[in-house]
Chain A
């Protein structure tokens, strides 16, 4: 047990948690915006992969990391727009379209990566983002270095949580967004454009998923591999449910999962892996299904989730 505790409180462990949580936080917030407006986006896995690729490729070709982030944001927003055209404008079934967007996005990512970089035995890498210490705050003992000596994207993720909560709960825009997700008919009567709001939500969500993907290839691994996302999009789907469609709880869920994941990595590295590490990785999915079963009595999911809106049909 002592050895386990030593691993947990070793320098860098907190930093590892925060780095694992960052892409999950972006992805989870992205999915949350989309679902809050009534659109389930199962395209998340493919959107993250494609954005991870475009971000990496842009950075690699131009030498500018921030141009790469911009490319990832644009990619994510465009893929979100594709999902919105199909599910919002055309009213097609969200889950099937989402799987289609994931297959299509993944295919494009593989295709263009191979087209640009060819087949190489060692995947090309870039000089990724460097930690940017925040003066004074990074000198705080224990919590200073892991939280305030991080990538800029980590700070942005931390900021994105209160900003998302503010947008969602404290602005007219957020009210409209929640209305089209709960009761689109009423929103429409109140003069809110259901189609317009849903487009905005899904595109914003896609952009956030894009940043999530780009973080992996431009800060965490500094290279693109076909398995770079490896189910993180599905984790985000689970975390949104587990976090009850709330920015704070969802981000908290991301942090909790990151803790379990980081712990699992530590235990493995220390040769303490008597339990297969897959048990830890499975945990968010198992817990989410259990949570869904427990929550089923009180409806917390956006009421209009999965339901297309057509004005003429009453």
Chain B
């Protein structure tokens, strides 16, 4: 019989080895699905890799796709660090997209418009995240369920907006009016969709890392998450820290929505997010809640998503392999994380 035995210390190299092990396990397990679809595993993964990193354009497309997920990944990482269980990044993203889009429709100078879109979008995301945080600290309401249910509420608000006041009067399509051209995030590399938001996301990760790892607020967030009793004993206002972490988390998720509106879609529609908020959970877990790890984890998922379409065209394997990979990567990572806290020993063996 095997049993799990608590570990005293976690070796440092685990931090890098575990996500890689989880991803490799996922790709190996999913190769079974590729085989089932009658394609060559190496060809399928090869096409995927080529379509996501093969040339400059592919790399820029992957980065554009990764951008909202870097933001939601950071959002989840910050929240989970404080053990504020924010399952609501999806709704916070949608709130940020709606608010950002609304600001973007007013005519004003480009830089001002972009700045205001970011600020208002972040505030909207934070406001949505604040609801479960306040309910938890004031009334002890479970944050998992309340933040999850808010996703549906925000989604229906979005649907109500685009089907009534925002509805395109000419076509009758349920899409919001486009933002002003001046508010479109500038493209950084001609001939691609690489927009300013990508750069902001790539800068946001080290900034969030700095906040979490090197500032007093970050320290308080970490202590609150790891040991709330000790935090309270040490004079940290645990409730206040949870609320602050929620605001930071919601704001980051809101920026994901702003980046999608300002840099990719220029308007709001019902499918503006194919679940980027939930992907944020996958990414944050793969990154072991480290903001710097969020970037490669988001790029990995983005590459799988962009690569899956090309793989499907070339090999006939359904493109939804990317959805399976995403879900399985999360489950594999969760199992892998077990090895940080435990090691497997034979029952009855010397310990």
Using CB atoms and an 8 Å cutoff, list the residues of chain B in contact with chain A: 33, 36-37, 85, 87, 131, 135, 139-142, 144-146, 148-153, 155-157, 159-160, 163-164, 275, 278, 281-282, 285, 318-328, 330-331, 334-335, 337-338
Contact = CB atoms under 8 A, between A and B. Distances in A.
Nearest to B38: A115
Contact of B152 (A115, A241, A285, A292): A285
Contact of A100 (B321, B322, B331): B331
Interface string A267-302: 000000000101101100110110011001100010
A93 B145 CA distance: 14
Contacts of A92: 334-335, 337-338
Given A100-B334, A282-B156, A301-B142, A46 B327 contact: yes
Interface band, chain A? 35 or more
Contacts of B281: 96, 99
Interface of A: 40, 42, 46, 82, 86, 90, 92-93, 95-97, 99-108, 110-111, 114-115, 231, 234-235, 237-238, 241, 276, 278-279, 281-282, 285-286, 288-289, 292-293, 296-297, 301, 305-306
- Consensus secondary structure, chain A interface: helix
Contacts of A276: 159-160, 163-164
Contact of A306 (B144, B151, B319, B321): B144
B141 A293 contact: yes
Nearest to A313: B6
- Consensus secondary structure, chain B interface: helix
B337 to A, nearest CB: 8
A106 B327 contact: yes
Contacts of A285: 149-150, 152-153, 156
Contact of A114 (B146, B318, B326): B318
B344 to A, nearest CB: 12
A281 B327 contact: no
Contacts of A97: 331, 334
Nearest to B85: A95
A111 B330 CA distance: 18
16 contacts: A42-B148, A92-B334, A95-B85, A96-B330, A99-B281, A100-B331, A102-B327, A110-B318, A111-B318, A111-B321, A115-B36, A234-B148, A278-B163, A282-B156, A289-B146, A306-B144
A238 B149 CA distance: 7
Nearest to B277: A99
